[in-house]
Amino acid sequence: MSSNDTFDALSRAMARRASRRTAIKGGAALASAGVISGAALSSSSGVAAQDGANITFWFDTTGGAETAQCLIDNIVNPFNAQGGTQVEATMQPNGWTATQTALAGGAGPDIVVTPGPTYVMELAKAGQLLNLDEAAAAHGWDQTVLPWALDLGRVDGSIYSIPHEVESLVLWYNATLFDEHGWEVPNTMDELITLSQAVQDAGLIPFAHGNQEWRPANEWFVGEWLNQLAGPDLVYAALTGEAQWTDPAFVDAISKLNDMQQNGWFYGGLDRYYTGASADTASSLAYGDSAMKIEGTWFFSDAMMFFEESGQEWGWAPFPSTDGTDIFDLGIGSTYSINARTAAPEASAEFLNYWFSPEAQGIAVSVCGMGPAPVSIPEELLEGIDARQAAMINAVADASAAGNYGYTTWTFFPPKTITFLIENIERVWAGDLSVEDFLAEMQSVFDPELAAGDVPPLPARS
- Same domain for 250 and 355, yes or no, is no
Name the DSSP class of 170.
E
- Is residue 7 over pLDDT 50? no
- Is residue 25 assigned to a domain? yes
Higher pLDDT, residue 23 or 93: 93
Given a contact cutoff of 8 angstroms between Cβ atoms, the answer to whether 246 and 439 are in contact is: yes
**Position 189 confidence tier, pLDDT thresholds 50, 70, 90:** very high
Distances (CA, A) of 269 to 97, 222, 307, 434: 35, 17, 24, 19
**So what's the pLDDT on residue 380?**
85
Residue 88 lies in a domain: yes
Same domain, 121 and 193: no
Residue 182, burial from CB neighbour count under 10 angstroms (0-12, 13-18, 19+):
exposed
Percent of the chain with pLDDT strictly greater than 90: 65
* Confidence class for position 46, pLDDT limits 50, 70, 90: very low
Smallest Cα–Cα separation from 259: which of 322, 190, 314, 328? 190
- The residues pairing with 296 across neighbouring beta strands, listed in sequence order, are 169
Same domain for 348 and 319: no
Task: Say if residue 308 is in the same domain as residue 322.
Answer: yes
Query: Is 452 domain-assigned?
Result: no
Residue 49 and residue 138 in one domain: yes
CB atoms within 10 A of CB 208: 27
The predicted-structure confidence for 343-385, as pLDDT tens digits, reads as follows: 999 999 999 999 999 999 999 988 888 888 988 888 888 878 8
440: Cα separation from own chain's centroid: 28
- How confident is the model over 333-347, as a mean pLDDT? 95
Q: Which of 17-31, 68-82, 382-396 is predicted least confidently?
A: 17-31
Q: What is the mean pLDDT of residues 396-408?
A: 86
Contact between 335 and 119 (Cβ < 8 Å)? yes
Question: What distance in Å separates the CA atoms of residue 109 and residue 341, rounded to the nearest whole number?
Answer: 9
Residue 307 sits in which domain range? Answer: 169-329
**337-343: average pLDDT:** 97
**Other CB atoms closer than 10 Å to residue 86's CB: what's the count?**
20
Measured in degrees and rounded to the nearest 5, phi and psi for residue 306 equal: -70, -35
**Non-local CB neighbours of 140 within 8 Å, separated by 6+ positions:** none
In a domain, 455, yes or no: no
Q: In this predicted structure, what is the pLDDT of residue 119?
A: 85
Mean pLDDT of the chain: 87
158 and 14 together in one domain = yes
pTM: 0.79
In angstroms, the CA 62 to CA 332 distance is 18
Residue 446 lies in a domain: no
Angle between helices 415-429 and 435-451 (to 10 degrees): 170
What's the whole-number mean pLDDT along residues 215-238?
A: 96
Residues 344 and 323 in one domain: no
Please report the pLDDT score of residue 52 as a whole number: 66
d(CA 3, CA 118): 11
> Confidence class of residue 14 from pLDDT cuts 50, 70 and 90?
very low
Domain boundary among 359, 385, 402: 402
**What are 81-122's pLDDT values in tens digits?**
998 899 999 999 888 999 999 999 999 999 999 988 878 988
Query: Higher model confidence: residue 386 or residue 264?
Result: 264
Statement to judge: residues 187 and 174 lie in one domain? yes
Cα gap 63→14, rounded to integer Å: 8
Residue 254 in domain: yes
pLDDT at 15 over 60: no
Give, as one character, the DSSP assignment of residue 187.
-
The answer to whether residue 327 scores a pLDDT higher than 50 is: yes
Instruction: Assign residue 178 the CATH number of its domain.
Output: 3.40.190.10
Same domain, 251 and 323: yes
Inter-axis angle of helices 217-225 and 248-262, to 10 degrees? 130
Residue 214 has pLDDT above 60, yes or no: yes
Answer with the one of 291, 308, 329 that is the final residue of a domain: 329
Report how far residue 173's alpha carbon sits from residue 293's, in angstroms, rounded to the nearest whole number.
6
Domain match, 175 and 258 both: yes
Residues 9 and 147 in one domain: yes
Mean pLDDT computed over 273-298? 95
Looking at the domain assignment, is residue 448 inside a domain? no
Alpha-carbon torsion (202, 189, 421, 162), positive or negative: positive
β-strand 86-92 against 54-60: which pairing, if any?
parallel
Clarify whether residues 74 and 141 are in a common domain: yes
Residues facing residue 407 across a β-bridge: 330
Beta pairing, strands 205-207 & 290-296? parallel
- Given 304, 329, 354, the domain boundary residue is 329
Residue 437 lies in a domain: no
DSSP, residue by residue, 49-79: --TT-EEEEEEE-TT-SHHHHHHIIIIIHHH
Total of domains in the chain? 2
